[in-house]
C-alpha cells in the first residue's frame, strides 16, 4: 500500500506546485483501495476540505494511472501522537518573553565568519515557491559552476522577500563545496564605509587588494549606493577586474540598476548582463509552505487553519509573515491557548493583518482618484488617456486584491461595462509591478491612505 501511494504522490508532485505539494500532500497516506473505494488518511479535517475541493481530480487521475480502480474517494483523519500547544500555568509575562527569546535564539544561533557569511542561511531552509523558483534555479547553477553561468548574478525585489537569505546561502554552499574558496559578503553601506576609511587613511591600495584575491564577491542592498559617485567608480573597477578573471559576482537590490537614480549607465548595464532575477511576493500556497517549514524548523505545533489564516491575511512580505507567526506562537504559549484558539477568540493582536472588508469599495475608488489628482467621475469614465487609464486599472487591482471582489462587481465600481476589461486591467498592473518599482511605491502609498 505504501509503495502504491508513494507512486501516486510522485505523479501528483509533477502536477502541482512545490508549495502545494508540501502543504497538502506531505502528511497523507493510503489506507484502503478495497472494491474501488479509496480511503486517504489525512492529518485533520481541514485537509479534507482542501484536498476534496482543489485536488480531487488530480488524485483520481494519479490513482488510475497507477492501476487503482476508483469508484469514490473518502478522507479519514488519522490520530497523531503529536500534541498541539498545550495550556500551562501562566508565568509572569517578562519571564515568558525571556524564556521564549532564549529558545528561539538557541534554535537560530549561528556563527559569523570573517567572510561576512552567516551559517544560518542555507538553501535547505529557503522555501521554494512560484515567487522565487527561477531565482533559486539560477542560484543552484552558480553553486555548481561559479563564475560561468549567471555571472554577474543580480537579484532584486522588495524588502523582506529573502534576497539576503538566498545570496548568503549561495556563499555558504560555495564554501562548503570548497573550504579554500575566498568569498566576501558585504552590504554596500559597509563597502562605502570601508572605502572612505581607506581613502582617509591613505590605504586605497590595500582596500583594492582585499578584493583582488576573491573568488566571489557578494554585495547586498546595492540601492544604497545612490549619490556615492566615488564608491561607484571604485566598485566599477573592482567589478571589471573580478569579471575578467571569471570570478563570481553577486549583487542584490530592491530594484533594477537602471531604476536607481545616479547609477552610472555602464555599471547598470554590466550588473544585469548575466541576467536579472526577481523575488516576488509569495502567493497563498507559498506562504503556507513557508510557515509550515518554519514550524518544522523550530519544532512548533500549529494547526493548518491557523497557518492559513496568517497566510491569507499577511500581505506585506515574508519577514512580516514570519514575524506574525512567531508572535502568535509566543502569545499562545503565554496565554495557554492553541494558536487557532487564540485566533478564534480574537486575542491575536497582529500588526500586519488588515481587515480590508471593513473598507467600502466606494472609499477605495475615491482614494485612488484623489491620489492621481482626478475627479472620480473622470477616472471612472471611458477615457483612454494614459494616466487616467492607469489610475482606473490601479483601482481595479486594489479592489481585487484588497476586497476580493468579482470582476463583475469591480466593473460596476469603476464604470466599466465588460468584466473582461477588468481582468485585462488587473493582469496589466500585475505584470507592470514586476519591473515598475515606481508603481509599487504608488500602490503602497495608496494603501497607506486607505487604511491610515
R_g (Cα) of the chain, nearest Å: 26
Higher pLDDT, 99 or 63: 63
Residue count of the chain, please give it.
Answer: 452
**For the chain, what is the largest distance between any 2 Cα atoms, rounded to a whole number of angstroms?**
84
Domain stops at, among 258, 278, 298: 278
Q: Is the pLDDT of residue 116 over 70?
A: yes
Domain that includes residue 407, residue range: 356-451
Average pLDDT, whole number, for the chain?
A: 84
Residues 242 and 364 in one domain: no
Q: Which three cell numbers stand for residue 92?
A: 509572569
DSSP strand pairing (153-156 vs 183-187): unpaired
> pLDDT by residue (tens digit) across 16-59?
776 677 677 877 889 988 888 999 998 766 677 778 888 898 99
What pTM does this model have?
0.62
> pLDDT by residue (tens digit) across 313-343?
887 789 889 888 988 988 888 888 899 888 8
User: Which of 413, 285, 437, 375 minimizes the C-alpha distance to 425?
Assistant: 413
∠ at Cα 411 (407, 414), nearest 5°? Answer: 135
For the chain, what is the domain count? 3
With a pLDDT cut of 70, the percent of the chain lying above it is 87
In a domain, 386, yes or no: yes
Q: What pLDDT is attached to residue 109? A: 37
Query: Contact, 277 vs 153, CB < 8 A?
Result: yes
* pLDDT band per the 50, 70, 90 thresholds, residue 144: very high
Neighbours of 65 (CB within 10 A): 11
Higher pLDDT, 148 or 112: 148
On the CB side of 358, CA atoms within 13 Å amount to 6
Domain stops at, among 237, 255, 278: 278
Q: Please, which residues have CB within 8 angstroms of residue 244's CB and are 6 or more apart in sequence?
A: none
User: Which of 20, 16, 18 minimizes the C-alpha distance to 58?
Assistant: 16
DSSP annotation of 182: -
Query: Contact, 357 vs 406, CB < 8 A?
Result: no
Query: Contact, 358 vs 451, CB < 8 A?
Result: no
Residues 261 and 152 in one domain: yes
Q: What pLDDT is attached to residue 55? A: 87
Residues 370 and 243 in one domain: no
**Can you name the residues that pair with 250 across neighbouring β-strands?**
153, 218
Distance of CA 214 to the CA centre of its chain: 30
Amino acid at each position: 500500500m505504501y509503495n502504491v501511494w508513494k507512486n501516486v504522490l510522485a505523479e501528483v508532485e509533477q502536477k502541482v506546485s512545490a508549495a502545494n505539494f508540501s502543504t497538502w500532500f506531505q502528511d497523507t497516506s493510503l489506507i484502503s483501495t478495497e472494491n474501488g473505494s479509496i480511503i486517504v488518511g489525512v492529518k485533520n479535517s481541514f485537509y479534507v476540505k482542501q484536498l476534496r475541493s482543489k485536488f480531487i481530480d488530480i488524485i483520481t487521475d494519479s490513482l488510475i494511472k497507477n492501476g487503482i480502480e476508483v469508484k469514490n474517494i473518502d478522507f479519514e483523519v488519522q490520530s497523531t501522537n503529536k500534541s498541539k500547544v498545550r495550556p500551562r500555568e501562566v508565568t509572569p509575562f517578562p519571564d515568558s518573553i525571556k524564556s521564549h527569546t532564549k529558545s528561539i535564539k538557541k534554535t537560530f544561533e549561528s556563527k559569523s565568519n570573517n567572510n561576512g557569511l552567516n551559517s544560518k542561511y542555507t538553501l535547505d531552509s529557503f522555501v521554494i515557491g512560484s515567487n522565487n523558483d527561477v531565482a533559486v534555479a539560477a542560484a543552484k547553477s552558480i553553486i555548481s559552476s561559479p563564475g560561468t553561468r549567471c555571472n554577474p548574478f543580480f537579484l532584486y525585489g522588495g524588502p523582506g522577500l529573502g534576497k539576503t537569505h538566498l545570496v548568503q546561502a549561495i556563499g555558504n554552499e560555495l564554501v562548503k563545496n570548497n573550504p579554500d574558496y575566498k568569498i566576501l559578503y558585504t552590504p554596500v553601506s559597509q563597502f562605502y564605509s570601508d572605502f572612505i576609511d581607506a581613502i582617509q587613511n591613505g590605504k586605497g591600495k590595500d582596500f583594492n587588494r582585499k578584493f583582488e584575491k576573491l573568488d566571489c564577491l557578494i554585495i547586498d542592498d546595492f540601492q544604497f549606493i545612490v549619490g556615492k559617485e566615488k564608491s561607484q567608480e571604485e566598485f566599477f573597477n573592482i567589478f571589471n577586474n573580478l569579471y575578467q578573471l571569471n570570478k563570481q559576482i553577486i549583487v542584490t537590490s530592491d530594484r533594477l540598476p537602471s531604476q536607481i537614480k545616479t547609477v552610472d549607465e555602464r555599471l547598470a548595464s554590466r550588473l544585469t548582463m548575466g541576467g536579472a532575477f526577481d523575488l516576488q511576493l509569495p502567493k497563498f500556497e507559498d506562504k503556507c509552505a513557508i510557515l509550515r517549514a518554519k514550524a518544522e524548523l523550530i519544532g512548533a505545533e500549529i494547526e493548518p487553519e491557523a497557518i492559513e489564516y496568517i497566510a491569507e491575511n499577511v500581505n506585506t512580505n515574508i519577514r512580516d509573515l514570519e514575524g506574525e507567526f512567531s508572535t502568535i506562537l509566543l502569545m499562545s504559549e503565554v496565554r495557554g491557548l492553541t494558536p487557532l484558539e487564540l485566533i478564534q477568540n480574537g486575542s491575536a493582536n497582529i500588526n500586519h493583518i488588515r481587515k480590508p472588508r471593513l473598507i467600502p469599495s466606494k472609499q477605495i475608488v475615491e482614494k485612488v482618484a484623489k491620489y492621481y489628482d482626478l475627479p472620480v467621475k473622470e477616472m471612472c469614465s471611458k477615457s483612454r488617456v494614459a494616466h487616467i487609464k492607469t489610475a482606473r486599472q490601479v483601482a481595479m487591482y486594489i479592489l481585487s486584491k484588497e476586497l476580493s471582489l468579482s470582476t463583475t462587481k469591480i466593473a460596476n465600481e469603476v464604470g466599466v461595462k465588460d468584466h473582461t476589461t477588468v481582468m485585462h486591467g488587473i493582469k496589466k498592473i500585475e505584470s507592470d509591478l514586476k519591473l515598475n518599482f515606481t508603481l509599487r511605491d504608488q500602490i503602497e502609498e495608496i494603501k497607506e491612505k486607505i487604511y491610515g
